[in-house]
Amino acid sequence: MDIKEFLDQDQKKDLLRLLTAGSVDDGKSTLIGRLLFDSKKLYEDQLDALKRDSKREGHAGGEIDYALLLDGLKAEREQGITIDVAYRYFSTAKRKFIIADTPGHEQYTRNMVTGASTANLAIILIDARKGVITQTRRHTFLVSLLGIKHIILAVNKMDLMDYSQEVYDRICKDYSEFVTPLGISDVRFFPISALKGDNIVDLSDRMPWYHGKSVLEHLESVHITSDRNFSDLRYPIQYVIRPSLDYRGFAAEIASGVIRKGDEIMVLPSRKKSIVKDIITYDGKIDYAFPPQSVTVTLEDEIDVSRGDMIVHPNNLPKIERHFEAMLVWMDEEPMKNGTQFFIKQGSQTTKARIDKIRHLVDVNTLENRETDSFALNEIGRVVITTVKPLFFDAYKKNRQTGSFIFIDPVTHNTCAVGMIIDKLSSDELPSKIVDLDVNKIASGTGLISKPEFEKTYQQKGNTIWITGLHGSGKNDLAYTLQRHLFDMGAKVMLLDGKSVRSGLSRELDYSPTDRAEHMRRVAHLCKLMNDQGILVICSFVSPDDSIRVQIKEIIGENNFHLIYIDADIEFCRKNDKYGIYEKADEGTLRYLPGVDMEYHVPEKPSLSFDATDNNNKLDELLDYLSDNKIYPV
């Protein structure tokens, strides 16, 4: 066999992705190291280094410590445990393998989830001296949650139990009783000694009562092809290839199903249909393709298809929904903040999403459900999610590719959670559904969202910051600067001033005391409406009459009204007048100007008072006031 023929044959080998899981010191890394050693997949320099490191850092007495092949971090070698996921690649004459050695500690749950996300098979180790323990149940639950359909239960350290069949049978019985309700279809049992090499690559003569395969034999023969979904075509567009006006191709990895030349297809979300013209690979055109192949598809018709769209068969559509339930694994060091709107990435689609409700938190040690209102690192729970744009998805159990997603923190852009979709939300649970109680609320004008809900989501209180002072005192400069700064910080903020309101809402009113009072009454009611819906309102009005300001405060609500006074004498205001208002008053063309022909009542007890001539940063002081009073941020 020449080298080309050998490489071609190697390229066609099936790939099995597997992970090891188990409690601390159950022998996960040792098992993989032994697998590599006994199958003669180590180079001489690796073997020499292993022998040398075993003497210096090993935890196997005078024998070779095979775990050192996987435990590369200094902390791992010092403690003899696995902390991060370690990947190893090797192949035999029958199959190629990628092994993920995952940590056993509960605090590294997210590391295990990462390693298990692409695995076809899980090897769960049990210490024969301890039997089925809490960590065994926890890892089995995680494996079932992540949709892994094949489990090898490796009862390790049989050499320390004199290779007792009675011990092995008892452990297998206990584990079978636990795993059956989880619905994992393929569970196999192996009595092994990772340190001694029993039943790893070759069958051991020290356990003549065991008549099954060795671990490697099973890994080489386990059937995983049927695990893939070949029924439901899901082709999420990752890239549009447009080298010229005469060519438009759509490149992606096939998530599931089979696509054939001549197939009628539908593009989501547009629902436009076409026919598959060609299926193109690096080696040329093919008649059909299936997962996990990456291909480029061209269509007979010129239709608009973009990244994030999905090609499906018209008679077999995924769910297209904004509301769904999912299992969520929290992966961020920072706990979940209620009301945060995350970015959700599902396949090639990205949009915004929020968690509407946490159904329950799963105790991964006892598998019991309990109530919670947030998630911390490594915690797992069932949640209700709403997205801004509809997603195209299937249940995770049916299709791991289209049923999984990640949450991205909008501030740090860290991946803060991974999720597995259970199903769409039933119609009677949709957040938009109106029940009898809601009908009564609507009729009374109360609304379906309470003020605390707005505060929780917006992380602010719906209050009014009312800035008063003479014309030219600098009210507008402070108001607009404050709005810009709060907006940049993420606040939901609205600004009202005399010019904007009088151009529409108070267009027919003049500046007489009566009309000015009506103008202020309208503004106050508008502020209250906005405050009740969680909006922070900044107002910049002269509002010269103290009695009118009292009425404004009563309409808005005493706890929601904050009066800010800018103290400026008339000479300062005349110099700072940008609109020529004082000049018009002097000419007699403008009446009722506070400070000229109308009295301005200085507020007796404003929330804050600023000297207009003081160059100190008024904005910082005002922002500190908002923060100290938990107006923004709450």
What confidence tens digit (pLDDT) does each residue in 89-120 have?
A: 888 888 888 888 776 556 667 777 877 778 89
For 53, phi then psi, to 5°, come to -70, -30
On whether both 332 and 205 belong to a single domain, the answer is: no
For residue 41, the model assigns a pLDDT of: 64
Q: Are residues 464 and 545 in the same domain?
A: yes
Do residues 207 and 291 make contact, with C-beta atoms less than 8 angstroms apart?
Answer: no
Q: How far apart are CA 61 and CA 631, in angstroms?
A: 63
Instruction: Please identify, among 277, 312, 347, the residue that sits at the C-terminal boundary of a domain.
Output: 312
pLDDT at position 439 over 70: no
E-only strand ranges, 428-480: 464-468
Separation between Cα atoms, residue 279 and residue 259, nearest integer Å:
8
What pLDDT score was predicted for residue 65?
58
Two structure tokens written together for 603: 């507020």
CA 130 to chain centre: 37
Rounded (5°) CA angle 441-443-444: 65
pLDDT band at 429 (very low <50, low <70, confident <90, very high): low
Angle ∠(97,99,103) on CA atoms, nearest 5: 170
Confidence label for 87 from pLDDT (cuts 50, 70 and 90) = confident
- The answer to whether position 347 is within a domain reads yes
Average pLDDT, integer, range 305-334: 92
User: Which of 105-114, 569-578, 603-612 comes out lowest in average pLDDT?
Assistant: 105-114
- Using 50, 70 and 90 to split pLDDT, how confident is the model at 32? confident
Mean pLDDT of the chain: 85
pLDDT at 261 over 90: yes
**pLDDT band of 48, cuts 50, 70, 90:** low
- Name which of 570, 575, 578, 563 is nearest 610 in CA terms: 563
As a whole number of Å, the end-to-end CA separation of the chain is 72
Residue 436 has pLDDT above 90, yes or no: no
| Helices (H) then strands (E): counts for the chain | 17, 28
Token code pair at residue 344? 């959700």
> How far is residue 511 from each of residues 201, 506, 591, 594, measured CA to CA in Å?
94, 11, 7, 10
Listed in sequence order, the residues at least 6 apart from 282 whose beta carbon sits closer than 8 Å to its beta carbon are none
- In angstroms, the CA 502 to CA 496 distance is 10
- pLDDT in the model for residue 434: 44
- pLDDT at position 76: 39
- DSSP-assigned states of every residue in 8-31: HHHHTSEEEEEEEEESTTSSHHHH
Using the structure block, give the residue that is written with the tokens 């995350």. Answer: 342
- Average pLDDT, integer, range 25-51: 69
Length of the chain: 634
Q: What is the pLDDT of residue 569?
A: 92
Domain-embedded: residue 393: yes
- CA–CA separation, 20 vs 587, rounded Å? 89
Place of tokens 């999403």: 353
CATH number of residue 75's parent domain: 3.40.50.300
pLDDT value of residue 135: 83
What pLDDT score does 104 carry? Answer: 56
Q: Of 312, 327, 360, which residue constitutes the final position of a domain? A: 312
Predicted confidence (pLDDT) at residue 253 exceeds the cutoff of 80 = yes
Residue 168 shares a structural domain with residue 247: no
Do the domain assignments include residue 91?
yes
At 499 the three-state DSSP class reads helix
- Given a cut of 50, whether residue 74 has pLDDT beyond it is no
Do 491 and 482 touch, CB atoms closer than 8 A?
no
Measured distance CA(22)–CA(128) in Å, rounded:
12
pLDDT of residue 440 exceeding 80, the answer is no
pLDDT score for 77: 38
Residue 80: pLDDT band (50, 70, 90) is very low
Query: 597: closest CA among 575, 579, 582?
Result: 582
Strand order in the sheet with 150-156: 86-91, 95-101, 14-22, 121-127, 150-156, 186-191
Whether 440 maps to a domain, the answer reads no
Those residues with Cβ within 8 angstroms of residue 263's Cβ, 6 or more apart along the chain or in another chain: 233, 275, 276, 313
Of 576 and 78, the structure prediction assigns the larger pLDDT to 576
* Residue 2 counted as domain residue: no
Per-residue confidence (pLDDT) for residue 428, from 0 to 100: 59
Given 312, 330, 359, the domain boundary residue is: 312
The CA-CA-CA angle for residues 343, 345, 351, to 5°, reads: 50
Indicate if the pLDDT at residue 408 is higher than 70: yes
**More confident of the two residues 431 and 295:** 295
Residue 57 has pLDDT above 90, yes or no: no
* Domain co-membership, 35 together with 114: yes
Please report the pLDDT score of residue 265 as a whole number.
95
* pLDDT of 273: 94
User: How many angstroms separate the Cα of 131 from the Cα of each of 19, 174, 245, 340?
Assistant: 20, 8, 66, 43
Least confident segment among 86-100, 199-213, 572-586: 86-100
Q: Is the peptide bond before 269 cis (omega within 30 degrees of 0)?
A: yes
DSSP helix, strand, coil percent of the chain (3-state; round to 5): 30, 30, 40
Same domain, 354 and 221: no
Place 81 in a pLDDT band, splitting at 50, 70 and 90.
Answer: very low
| Same domain? 606 vs 497 | yes
> Is pLDDT above 60 for 319?
yes
248, 253, 254, 259 alpha-carbon torsion, rounded to 10°: 30
pLDDT of residue 460: 93
375 confidence band (pLDDT: 50, 70, 90): very high
Residues 57 and 22 in one domain: yes
Q: Which helix (H) or strand (E) holds 562?
A: strand 561-567
Percentage of the residues of the chain whose pLDDT score is greater than 70: 86
Helix (H) or strand (E) holding 453: helix 451-458
Same-domain check for residues 158 and 298: no
Note every long-range contact of 627-630, with CB atoms under 8 Å and residues 24 or more positions apart, other chains counting.
629/562, 630/461
Q: E-strand spans in 478-559?
A: 493-497, 536-540
Q: How confident is the model at residue 78 (pLDDT cuts 50, 70, 90)?
A: very low
* Mean pLDDT on 116-137: 89
Q: Which long-range contacts (CB under 8 A, 24 or more apart) does 521-526 make?
A: 521/551, 521/552, 521/555, 523/496, 523/552, 524/551, 524/552, 524/555, 524/556, 525/555, 526/496
Q: Which of 29-43, 113-127, 241-255, 439-453 has the lowest mean pLDDT?
A: 439-453
Task: Tell me the mean pLDDT in the region 231-238.
Answer: 93
Residue 227 is encoded by which pair of tokens? 């695990």
Beta strand extents in 378-439 (DSSP E only): 380-393, 404-408, 415-424
The total number of structural domains in the chain stands at 4
Average pLDDT over residues 270-294: 93
Task: Cis check for the bond before 594: say yes or no (omega within 30 of 0).
Answer: no
Q: Give alpha helix (H) positions in 161-240.
A: 165-179, 215-221
Q: Does residue 51 sit within a domain?
A: yes
Residues 149, 133 share a domain? yes
Q: List residues bridging with 249 in a β-sheet.
A: 241
Residues 240 and 206 in one domain: no
Q: Is 544 found in the same domain as 619?
A: yes
Judge whether 3 lies within some domain: no
Domain residues for 358?
319-429
SS (H, E, C) 256-318: ECCEECCCEEEEECCCEEEEEEEEEECCEEECEECCCCEEEEEECCCCCCCCCCEEEECCECC
Q: What is the CATH number of the domain that holds 422?
A: 2.40.30.10
Residue 442 within any structural domain of the chain: no
What pLDDT score does 215 carry?
92
Cα–Cα distances in angstroms (integers) from residue 505 to residues 321, 466, 498, 517, 556, in the given order? 40, 18, 10, 14, 18
**String of DSSP letters for 525-540:** HHHHHHHHTT-EEEEE
In this prediction, residues 374-389 reach a mean pLDDT of: 91
Angle at 511 between CA 510 and CA 515, to 5 degrees: 65
Six-digit token string for 37: 């050693």
Same-domain check for residues 341 and 462: no
